[in-house]
A and B are shown apart, each in its own frame.
Chain A
Amino acid sequence: MNRFTFIFVVCIYALFLIYQAFSAITLEQQLVYASFFILMFGIPHGAIDHILFFRKKSMTQLKFYSLYLGLIVLFVLLWLKFPLISFLFFLILSAFHFGESQFVDAKLTLRNFNPLLFLFWGLALLATLMYYNISELAAITAYFQDTQNFGVVYNEDLFFYFFTITNITTLILLIYLFVKNQMSIRRLSSELFLIALIHLTFFLFPFIIGFTLYFVVLHSIRVMNQEYLFFKSEDGSFGLVEFLKLLLPHSLLSIFFTSVLLALSHLGYLGISIPFLSIIIISVITLPHAIVMHIFYNK
């Protein structure tokens, strides 16, 4: 168990007691709390992509921002034209990104094998999240007109196969790494424990709370820690205040524009429901971020 898993365990116990006290939390309350934590931790973890990129690659600022923003615009267009394909692409992209950030410190040397592990670990995570909450997801999706298209994805039989295959494959891949001396027994047991913990979380808690807990604690805070340690390794005097100063400008900018877009949607100017808009915003931010982080982890 590492420190992030410990924080995760503490959060689970805290949620146990919150649920013991209130027995149920309404969807609106879940959305408010989840948005708060995602804005506080999720956005900052991708707010220094530009700095990380320039530490690893040389490119003109104009070219970088053109590519970064160009990818965002392209993905927005894809969403507007082919929402279902965009949604599936987003799931696969996120899965790979989650898996990559999970194993970056594992020092795996089978380079051709790694992408497979990253992808399946992330797919297993998303499949587990969706499988345990499929009826809740289907209800949320059916509630808004522009998300009803995604309803075709929520087929229980399909999800059962997806859930089973991705989880079994991930376990096989982890055991294979152990057999090939790529992973110690200590790391393997930590990974298996984490998978069990994720299953328990996604099974017990609603979709939004389960995902937020994973995304904030096991992904965003973990990635921010990786970023912090990178700067610290470059300059020993680098501290938390300097790190927060680095995160602040682009975080505030992202939070401002996200809030404006959500307000426009709420006031009916965009003609897109808030959940659909949220998925689009999260996914278009994720695409260039995942690419930058892939470069950051591999260079």
Chain B
Amino acid sequence: MLLDIQLMRPDDYVGFTFFIGYMAMFAASVFFFFERSRVDDKWKLSLLVSALITGIAAVHYLYMRDYWGVHQESPTFFRYVDWTLTVPLMCVEFYLLTKPAGASRGLMWKLIIASVWMLVAGYIGEAFNPAITSGVASDGTSHSVMWGVISTLGYLYVLHAAWFGEVAQLAEKSDSAVVKKGVRTLAWFVLVGWAIYPIGYMCMPGGWLSSVMDPSMIDVWYNLADAINKIGFGLVVYHIATSESK
């Protein structure tokens, strides 16, 4: 059994953060799931979604940790599968929080479509980059820019909705000061926390930011950002749910 455990070097920061990320997501998932019983019924679904977000991420981090351990390369495939499932769920949280103020299912679907659009385009841009097969970084420039533009449009839609669009307006209409503040905090997550993903996209080998940020370290930033964004998102929802249930 012990022979199956991958060797982890003390300076393998990527492997270290995959491990930390997995445990943190798993712990958060258990926490959100058990805390559901402490909140009012109307908040149970929000906490379940929070638990799902971190739970799905924990499973993927388990795979990614092993993938990294064996191959020592960025697990792009698993990462995007994880994001494609968890990011739309984060958008569902916006819908659930603003539902009492009148959020429609249409809003939820618009946010889901924008987030899936963002991630699928990002995946095509990153995973099917011609530079990977040719080994010449410049071969992938037009490909990564085109899919980068398409992906950014989806991100900007979600960002606008959270700060000025329907989500922000519904939050302002909400009777609860806690919900208002909570939605504003989640909007900060979208603005600051999610910014790591387009930055990471541009740190691909040959990317414009690859000279500013070491591409081999991007997984460390992704892992830290993922943990902060997903657990942080859940904690904000948890705070709203417990405050409103008192």
Task: Please tell me if the beta carbons of A1 and B191 are within 8 angstroms of each other in the complex.
Answer: yes
Size category, A interface: 10 to 19
Interface contact B159-A9, CB-CB below 8 Å: yes
For the complex, give the distance between the alpha carbons of A19 and B202 in Å: 10
Chain A residue nearest in CB terms to B212? A204
Chain B nearest CB: distance from A9 CB in Å? 7
Distance in angstroms from B40 CB to nearest chain A CB is 27
Instruction: Give complex CA distance A13, B209 in Å.
Output: 12
**Complex: how many Å from CA A21 to CA B148?**
10
Q: Which residues 153-170 of B sit at the A interface, judged by CB distance below 8 A?
A: 155-156, 159-160, 163-164
- CA–CA, A16 to B207, complex, Å? 10
Question: Quick one: which of B187, B198, B212 contacts A13, CB cutoff 8 A?
Answer: B198
Secondary structure of the B side of the interface?
Answer: helix
- Tell me whether A19 and B208 are in contact (CB under 8 A): yes
Is B192's CB within 8 Å of the partner chain A? yes
The reply to whether B212 and A21 form a contact with Cβ atoms under 8 Å apart is no
* Chain B, 116-151, CB within 8 A of any chain A CB: 141-142, 144-145, 148-149
Cβ-defined contact, A17 with B148, below 8 A: yes
A20 close to B208 (CB less than 8 A): yes
**How big is the B interface, by class?**
20 to 34
For residue A289, give the distance in angstroms from its CB to the closest CB of chain B: 30
| A10 CB-CB contact with B under 8 Å | yes
Q: Is A61 an interface residue (CB 8 A)?
A: no
Shortest Cβ distance from residue A5 to the other chain B in the assembled complex, whole angstroms: 9
Q: Is A6 an interface residue (CB 8 A)?
A: yes
Interface assignment of B152: CB less than 8 Å from any CB of chain A: yes
Whether B159 pairs with A17 at a CB distance below 8 angstroms is: no
For residue B159, which residues in chain A have a CB less than 8 angstroms away from its CB?
A: 6, 9
In the complex, whether B79 has a CB less than 8 A from a CB of chain A is no
The distance in angstroms between the C-alpha atoms of A186 and B185, with both chains bound, is: 10
Q: How far is the CB of A185 from chain B (nearest CB, A)?
A: 10
A16 and B198: CB pair below 8 A? Answer: yes
Nearest CB in chain B: distance from A272 CB, A = 36
Judged by a CB distance under 8 angstroms, whether B184 is at the interface is yes
Residues of chain A from 133 to 190 with CB closer than 8 A to chain B in the complex: 186, 189
Within 8 A of A (CB), among B194-234: 198, 202, 207-209, 212
Q: Could you tell me if B156 and A20 are in contact, using CB atoms closer than 8 angstroms?
A: no
Chain A nearest CB, measured from B174 CB (Å): 16
B163 and A17 form a contact (CB under 8 A): no
A1-33 Cβ-contact flags toward B at 8 Å (1 or 0): 101001001100100110111010000000000
- What mask results when residues 196 to 236 of chain A are scored 1 for a CB within 8 Å of chain B, else 0? 00000000100000000000000000000000000000000
A193 CB–B CB distance under 8 Å:
yes
Set of chain B residues within 8 Å of A20, measured between Cβ atoms = 141, 144-145, 148, 202, 207-208
Kindly state the separation between the CA atoms of A204 and B195 in the bound complex, as whole angstroms.
15
The CA-CA distance from A20 to B148 in the complex, in Å, is 9
Nearest chain B CB to A24 CB, angstrom units: 9
| Cα A199 to Cα B23 with chains together (Å) | 35
Assess the A6–B142 pair: CB atoms within 8 A. Answer: no
Are A10 and B145 closer than 8 Å at their CB atoms?
no
Say yes or no: A13 contacts B152, CB within 8 Å. Answer: yes
Most chain B CB within 10 A, of A17, A21, A23, is at A17
Whether A6 pairs with B198 at a CB distance below 8 angstroms is: no
B208–A23 contact, CB under 8 A?
Answer: yes
- Assuming the contacts A3-B164, A23-B208, asked whether A16 and B202 have C-beta atoms less than 8 A apart, the reply is yes
B152 contacts A17, CB within 8 Å?
Answer: yes
Query: A residues within 8 Å of B by Cβ?
Result: 1, 3, 6, 9-10, 13, 16-17, 19-21, 23, 186, 189, 193, 204
Listed A/B pairs (24) with beta-carbon separation below 8 Å: A1-B191, A3-B164, A6-B159, A6-B163, A6-B164, A9-B191, A13-B152, A13-B198, A16-B202, A16-B208, A16-B209, A17-B152, A19-B208, A20-B141, A20-B148, A20-B207, A20-B208, A21-B141, A21-B142, A23-B141, A23-B208, A186-B184, A193-B192, A204-B212
The 5 closest A-B pairs by CB, nearest first: A21-B145, A20-B208, A19-B208, A20-B145, A13-B152
Other A-B pairs, 15, CB within 8 Å; known A6-B160, A19-B208, A189-B188:
A1-B163, A1-B187, A3-B164, A9-B159, A9-B191, A10-B156, A13-B152, A13-B155, A16-B202, A20-B148, A20-B207, A21-B145, A186-B184, A193-B191, A204-B212
